[in-house]
Amino acid sequence: MIHIAVEKKLKAYHGQQVLRIDRQFVTGSTTKIYGPSGSGKTTFLKIIAGLVTPEKGMVRVDAVSWFNADARINLPPQKRNTGFVFQQYALFPNMTVRQHLEYATTDEAWIKRLLLLGKLDTLQEHKPDYLSGGQQQRLAILRALATKPQIFLMDEPFSALDAKMKTELIAELQILLKELGTTTLIVSHNPQELDGWADGELVFE
């Protein structure tokens, strides 16, 4: 079980607003997150990953405190077992497809499985500049999965994919994440694309 109860000030177009979330997520569940721009969706994912620090509250994962403002606990990102798919991909320009995965894991069988999953097995030696937007997006997803994360955080992860590729990838991800027992949170501007996968939803106002 993951319990997140936090408050974080947000910079908004009309002054300042406060993001307040108090929510529990069942281990292994998938939650779709949607709402207007600027409502704090990406900030929420970054709080879980340890990339943004809230002013108040706590993040507890399977009874382990990742963050607790009162107790001054704040695990650094590298000690939180999360995989993060950034909206802008955040790929390393000088690394090949394969090197992105080898940076995160030495498990050769797992690397091969991920490459096949993302249909990048024939592009292993390509660097990001030589990949299409959709291929870069798939690489970002594979890299985030390479560590077999406990929590998988995705920020608009399918925006550059065509309908056929998106459908195929979502079907494969469902199988893989269920196998890993990973808890998944997905920010999407098109929540309908996750119908049939997500167990629940979190709507930002």
Q: How many CB atoms lie within 10 A of CB 22?
A: 10
Token duo for residue 162: 């065509």
Q: What is the torsion angle, in degrees rounded to the nearest 10, for the CA atoms of residue 86, residue 91, residue 97 and residue 98?
A: -90
For residue 177, what are the domain limits?
2-203
Dump pLDDT digits (tens) for 88-128: 888 999 999 999 999 999 999 999 999 999 999 999 999 99
Provide the pLDDT for residue 16: 77
**Percent share of the chain, pLDDT over 70:** 98
d(CA 30, CA 14) in angstroms, rounded, equals: 32
Which two tokens mark 45? Answer: 């994912």
Question: What is the C-alpha to C-alpha distance for residues 101 and 142, in angstroms, rounded to an integer?
Answer: 7
Round to whole Å and give the CA distance between 148 and 105. 9
Q: What is the pLDDT of residue 102?
A: 96
Question: What pLDDT sits at residue 37?
Answer: 85
Question: For residue 13, what pLDDT is reported?
Answer: 64
Q: For residue range 141-196, what is the model confidence (pLDDT) as tens digits?
A: 999 999 999 999 999 999 889 999 999 999 999 999 999 999 999 999 887 888 88
What is the per-residue pLDDT for 8?
94
CATH of the domain at 93: 3.40.50.300
Q: Around Cβ 87, how many Cβ atoms within 10 Å?
A: 15
Per the structure, how many domains does the chain have?
Answer: 1
pLDDT beyond 70 at 14: no
Give the torsion through C-alpha atoms of 81, 54, 202, 14, to 10 deg. -140
Cβ proximity of 110 and 44 under 8 Å: no
User: Which residue type does 19 have?
Assistant: L
Average pLDDT over every residue of 80-89: 92
Asked whether residue 34 carries a pLDDT value surpassing 70, the answer given is: yes
